[in-house]
């Protein structure tokens, strides 16, 4: 097992990131909470693992003339640009209008060519696909639905196994889900190290929850009968024969956690989640809860986490929610939160989140959390 890790990751470009025990969150939840700090990757998010792995694969397969092309709203593009720079490959990133100037600057600092195309991600993707068609040496870097990308992401589990105190197996691993690439890597990594039975808690936001909705469309961990579950307005259910699973296609995404923004998840990943021994606990939270977590995390750990990343941390800042999702956790439980990182956060954003959360708390009421088909309320101030 160790041998295959050595072979597959021998030429890795990513950083073996620290796994730190959070005193603050451990104290709050009265158990051991570890943070895997993917913020420290060269492109400042976990995407660097899977995408640099893919880039190296492309170099080996197509040679140094290969032209890496990617359509991205930010973090994937940064990862591709960073990897391409190290490997001395050409890289072009297609972005829709409206992407932050600092992200564009970062892409250019890494030597990537930036093409701003279209008003929406899908339009940028279309232009990217056309560019790949037009050039023989061009290769499309996938956003999340590719086994090579998952293989790169899986490396973090191998690291976590070595970094936890000896013999310790996590009682749960938490991660954010956009299209499912990270979750896919985690599930494969768990399988590889003998952790297939470790519970996986996936976190999305209500306004960007294609994975949660997909699980709902299949027999699995969701409560009740799959035939009686309703498909929300704006969602189309699609049967994927290749993976024998149904996935949800969302017609619109309304969350501010735009890095989660996938209208449909990887069908293969949905299938993996349904089949794994440790199961999947699929959670959806409000944007405001993610904002509150980002604020708390900034004060506790002096690290700015974008909303897609803070979403994972949010359940850990809500003891009532945490106890619902990991009821078996006791004082000696060991929980791992994948702090996936991301460049799309600024001091102005956090300032705005503060105002939004304060207004929302003043308005009263509770926040809704969805968990494997059930909805319950969580106090806004806890």
Q: Check if the beta carbon of residue 69 is closer than 8 Å to that of residue 138.
A: yes
As a whole number of angstroms, the distance between CA 349 and CA 84 comes to 30
Applying CB under 8 A, which of residues 304, 310, 321, 337 lies at the interface with another protein?
304
Closest among 68, 238, 267, 241 to 179, alpha carbons compared? 267
**Count, residues near another protein per rule CB under 8 A:** 34
Rg (CA), the chain: 20
Q: Which is nearer to another protein, 40 or 361 (CB)?
A: 40
Nearer to another protein by C-beta: 242 or 299? 299
Among 9, 14, 48, 106, binds another protein (CB under 8 A): 106
DSSP states of 36-105: EEGGGSTTSBTHHHHHHHHHHHHHHHH-TT-EEEEE-SSHHHHHHHHHHHHHT-EEEEEE-TT--HHHHH
Residues 14, 42, 210, 284: which binds another protein (CB under 8 A)?
42
Q: Does 46 bind another protein (CB under 8 A)?
A: no
Closest alpha carbon to 68 in 170, 140, 143: 140
Q: How far apart are CA 47 and CA 80, in angstroms?
A: 9
Shortest distance, position 110 Cβ to another protein, whole Å: 6
Q: Binding residue for another protein (CB under 8 A) from 64, 65, 97, 109?
A: 109
Candidates 101-109, 169-177, 326-334, 370-378 — which segment interacts with another protein by CB under 8 A?
Answer: 101-109
CB of 173 or CB of 304, closer to another protein: 304
Contacts of 321 (CB under 8 A, 6+ apart): 283, 314, 315, 369, 378
**Is the Cβ of residue 109 or residue 169 nearer to another protein in the bound state?**
109
For residues 190 and 197, what is the distance between their CA atoms, to the nearest angstrom? 8
Residue of 5, 32, 44, 213 interacting with another protein (CB under 8 A): 44
- Asked whether the beta carbons of 183 and 312 are under 8 A apart, the reply is no
Q: By CB under 8 A, name the one of 59, 74, 99, 110 that touches another protein.
A: 110
Binding pattern to another protein, positions 63-92, x when CB under 8 A?
-------------------x----------
SS3 of residue 4 by DSSP = helix
Which is nearest to 258 in space by CA: 46, 42, 74? 74
Residue 264: half-sphere exposure toward Cβ, Cα within 13 Å: 19
Nearer to another protein (CB atom), residue 1 or residue 162: 162
Residue 15 neighbours by CB under 8 Å, 6+ apart:
40, 41, 42, 48
Tell me the C-alpha distance between 130 and 142, whole Å: 15
**Residue 178: closest CA among 75, 53, 303, 71:** 75
Q: Which stretch binds another protein (CB under 8 A): 179-187, 197-205, 264-272, 298-306?
A: 298-306
Query: Applying CB under 8 A, does 258 fall inside the site for another protein?
Result: no
Region from 153-161, 242-250, 302-310, 315-323 binding another protein, contact rule CB under 8 A: 302-310
Binding residue for another protein, selected from 79, 87, 295, 314, defined by CB under 8 A: 295
* CB 249 to another protein: min, Å: 32
- Which is nearer to another protein, 37 or 125 (by Cβ)? 37
Give the nearest distance from C-beta 357 to another protein in angstroms: 12
Nearer to another protein, 298 or 316 (CB): 298
209: helix, coil or strand? coil
Site string for another protein, 319-358 (x = CB under 8 A): ----------------------x-x-xxx--xx--x----
Binding mask 1-40 for another protein (x = CB under 8 A): --------------x-xx-xx-xx--x---------x-xx
Distance separating alpha carbons of residues 140 and 116, to the nearest angstrom: 17
- List interacting residues with another protein (CB under 8 A): 15, 17-18, 20-21, 23-24, 27, 37, 39-40, 42, 44, 82, 102, 106, 109-110, 295, 298-299, 301-305, 341, 343, 345-347, 350-351, 354
């Amino acid at each position: 097992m160790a041998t295959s890790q050595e072979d597959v990751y021998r030429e890795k470009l990513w950083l073996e990131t620290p796994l730190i025990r959070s005193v603050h969150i451990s104290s709050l939840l009265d158990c051991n909470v570890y943070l895997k700090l993917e913020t420290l990757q060269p492109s400042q998010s976990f995407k660097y693992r899977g995408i640099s792995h893919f880039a190296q694969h492309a170099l080996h397969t197509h040679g140094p003339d290969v032209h890496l092309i990617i359509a991205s709203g930010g973090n994937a593009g940064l990862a591709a640009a960073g990897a391409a720079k190290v490997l001395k490959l050409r890289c072009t990133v297609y972005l829709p209008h409206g992407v932050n100037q600092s992200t564009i600057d970062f892409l250019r600092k890494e030597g990537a060519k930036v093409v701003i195309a279209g008003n929406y991600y899908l339009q940028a993707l279309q232009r990217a696909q056309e560019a790949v068609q037009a050039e023989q040496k061009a290769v499309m870097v996938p956003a999340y639905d590719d086994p090579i990308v998952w293989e790169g992401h899986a490396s973090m589990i191998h690291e976590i196994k070595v970094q936890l105190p000896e013999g310790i197996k996590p009682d749960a691993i938490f991660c954010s889900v956009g299209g499912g690439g990270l979750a896919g890597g985690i599930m494969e990594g768990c399988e590889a190290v003998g952790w297939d039975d470790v519970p996986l808690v996936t976190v999305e936001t209500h306004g960007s929850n294609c994975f949660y909705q997909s699980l709902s469309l299949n027999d699995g961990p969701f409560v009740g009968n799959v035939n009686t579950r309703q498909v929300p307005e704006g969602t189309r259910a699609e049967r994927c024969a290749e993976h024998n699973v149904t996935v949800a296609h969302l017609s619109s995404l309304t969350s501010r956690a735009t890095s989660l923004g996938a209208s449909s998840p990887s069908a293969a990943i949905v299938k993996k989640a349904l089949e794994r021994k440790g199961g999947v606990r699929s959670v959806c939270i409000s944007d405001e809860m993610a904002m509150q977590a980002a604020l708390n995390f900034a004060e506790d750990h002096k690290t700015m986490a974008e909303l897609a990343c803070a979403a994972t941390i949010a359940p850990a800042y809500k003891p009532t929610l945490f106890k619902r999702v990991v009821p078996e956790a006791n004082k000696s439980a060991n929980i791992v939160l994948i702090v996936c990182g991301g460049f799309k956060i600024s001091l102005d954003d956090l300032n705005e989140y503060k105002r939004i959360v304060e207004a929302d708390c003043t308005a009263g009421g509770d926040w809704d959390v969805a968990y494997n088909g059930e909805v319950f309320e969580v106090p806004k101030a806890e």
